[in-house]
A and B are shown apart, each in its own frame.
Chain A
Amino acid sequence: GAGVSQSPSNKVTEKGKDVELRCDPISGHTALYWYRQSLGQGLEFLIYFQGNSAPDKSGLPSDRFSAERTGGSVSTLTIQRTQQEDSAVYLCASSHPQTGGTEAFFGQGTRLTVV
């Protein structure tokens, strides 16, 4: 596709279940970012990938959160044993930092609700 695609767009899950969120970046974009925004809060950085490696995982809130990226393309963010505080909009963005100054393109986000 032409843009960044995230799935699912909405996910309601029961507390304690695992969830997997997917991001399909723009083809050729080497950098991929995951963020989340909880209700009433600011944008929170989670993890950054350059190719398949994650030079910065500092934003992952706990060891229940993990992310991987394969083939320098699709990324999945996995949350194990979900808690209510995990409820948020999870945003993925990609960019092509070859020349710098290149804007980030965002997906529509996944709205996660943990009940």
Chain B
Amino acid sequence: ILNVEQSPQSLHVQEGDSTNFTCSFPSSNFYALHWYRWETAKSPEALFVMTLNGDEKKKGRISATLNTKEGYSYLYIKGSQPEDSATYLCAFIGYDSTLTFGKGTMLLVSP
């Protein structure tokens, strides 16, 4: 099992705050990194698929960056809303194509 770390483990912010989380992963054997959002009572769904060093992806108020040389990715949420409350998972994909998930960051946004 590879070491994919996410921090913080949980986060509680107020509506309107901007926030970010970190996913760190092995810098060797990197093929891709995925971010998923897991809302309560639903299935986790993919947010971003990132493959190139320096990649920056954006979907509405959520964006992500990737640094494969140092082995980390940041997920940013601008102006958090209560509906952003979820667990955010990152997954490392190596050249052997196996996915290794981090434990996730649980975000709670209070109105």
Q: A residues engaging B (CB < 8 A)? A: 3-4, 31, 33, 35, 37, 41-45, 48, 50, 56, 58-59, 91, 93, 95, 97-98, 100-109
Q: Which of B19-46 contact A (CB under 8 A)?
A: 31-32, 34, 36, 38, 42-46
How big is chain B's contact interface, by range? Answer: 20 to 34
Complex contact B1–A91 (CB within 8 A)? no
Question: In the assembled complex, how far is the CB of residue A102 from the closest CB belonging to chain B, in whole angstroms?
Answer: 8
Q: Is the CB of A43 within 8 A of B87?
A: yes
Q: Do B42 and A35 touch (CB < 8 A)?
A: no
A95 to chain B, nearest CB (A): 6
Q: Is A106 a contact partner of B99 (Cβ separation < 8 A)?
A: no
Q: Closest residue of chain B to A58, judged by CB?
A: B1
Known contacts A42-B9, A43-B89, A43-B104; is-contact A103 B43 (Cβ 8 Å): no
Residues of A within 8 A of B34 (CB): 103-104
| Nearest residue, chain B, Cβ from A96 | B97
A20 to chain B, nearest CB (A): 21
Instruction: Decide: A59 and B1 in contact? CB cutoff 8 A.
Output: yes
Q: How far is the CB of A58 from chain B (nearest CB, A)?
A: 6
